[in-house]
Amino acid sequence: MVSDEEQRLVDVRLAVREAKRAIKKKIKKDDEYAENSNDDEENELEEEESSPTLKKKLSSITVVVSNRLQWTCKQKPINYHV
């Protein structure tokens, strides 16, 4: 037989394992819920984007954001001292 101390340690280990399993199940359910709500939000966005008024609004707004240098035409210097 197992002594009381050893039995207590075994019970603690089993309790920790069960707690970990419960936490993992909860996390998995939360993740599934989050994925489902993201799908719902994406469906709502697709419906909104398909409306012609939104497309019109988006096409009328033109904003150019660029971190690139703006290249200009390099002109030859004009020599007036000919």
Q: Where exactly are the structural domains of the chain? A: 4-60
Q: In the prediction, which pLDDT does 45 show?
A: 52
Q: In the prediction, which pLDDT does 7 show?
A: 92
Q: In the prediction, which pLDDT does 53 show?
A: 67
Q: In the prediction, which pLDDT does 79 show?
A: 78
- d(C-alpha 78, C-alpha 82), whole Å: 10
Instruction: Kindly give the parts of the chain with pLDDT less than 70.
Output: 1, 37-75, 82
Go through the chain and tell me how many residues it has: 82
Residue-averaged pLDDT of the chain: 73
